[in-house]
A = this chain, B = another copy of it.
Amino acid sequence: MRTALAVIDRDGVAGLTMRKFGAELGVDPMAVYYYLPDKGALFDAVVEAVLDEVGLPEPAPGATWQSVVWDACQRLRTVLRRHPHTVPLIGTRPVLTPRTLASSDLLIRQLVDTGLSAPEGLRILTCARAYTLGHLLVEVGVPAGPPPEANVAPAEVMAAYPALAAGMAQGYDPDGQFDLGLRALIDGLGGR
């Protein structure tokens, strides 16, 4: 799976081919089918490898639910920025293996330890995870298929959209932008 993930990091999801995967392993491409039923299973295995890299939250004695959620989302973001092509995969393929279930279970347990109910904890986690994945999707999202030719609108085009241009004048700081929204989301969830 390290090999598969490396291929995706290099060539994108569409670039991970059963045939290329076999070749990369120095094996007949069809040998893969002895271990995996189909390409979906390969994707799921990659997703699990990435989630493994995210790892488990450390037990923090003085933690609040705010800090637990904040840390979990920052950890997820850090790892997914190393594997940008996998973001749509992570958001899209529900992997229900012991390791991923145990990770969610531990997070909820930590939230319950801070005083939340389990359903409250799950709802809050779901919100924060959605925001984190969505931000990553638009931030590092790699286009499906061939990329568009012009990625940035030239200045004379933007002149026709003054409000948008004024909004973009200060530049774009991905980390600051992400933190702003996560902070706001957690703050707002406090008044639940």
Q: How far is the CB of A101 from chain B (nearest CB, A)?
A: 5
What residues on B are CB-neighbors of A56 within 8 Å? none
Integer count of this chain's copies in the complex = 2
Indicate which residue in B88, B131, B166 contacts A144 across the interface (CB closer than 8 Å): B88
* A148 on the B face (CB < 8 A): yes
What residues on B are CB-neighbors of A38 within 8 Å? 145-146
Q: Interface size bucket, A side?
A: 35 or more
Distance in angstroms between the alpha carbons of A129 and B133 in the assembled complex: 11
Interface residue ranges, A against B (CB under 8 Å) = 13, 37-44, 88-89, 91-96, 98, 101-102, 104-106, 108-109, 112, 118-119, 121-123, 126-127, 129-135, 137-139, 141-153, 157-158, 160-164, 166-170, 177, 180-181, 183-189, 191-192
Can you list 17 residue pairs at the A/B interface with Cβ under 8 Å? A92-B144, A101-B160, A105-B161, A105-B163, A108-B166, A108-B167, A121-B163, A121-B167, A122-B168, A127-B135, A127-B181, A129-B134, A130-B139, A131-B134, A184-B184, A185-B188, A188-B188
Given A96-B157, A130-B137: 20 more A-B contacts, CB < 8 Å = A43-B143, A88-B88, A88-B91, A88-B137, A91-B138, A96-B153, A108-B166, A118-B164, A127-B180, A129-B134, A130-B134, A130-B135, A130-B138, A130-B139, A131-B181, A132-B134, A134-B134, A134-B137, A181-B189, A184-B189
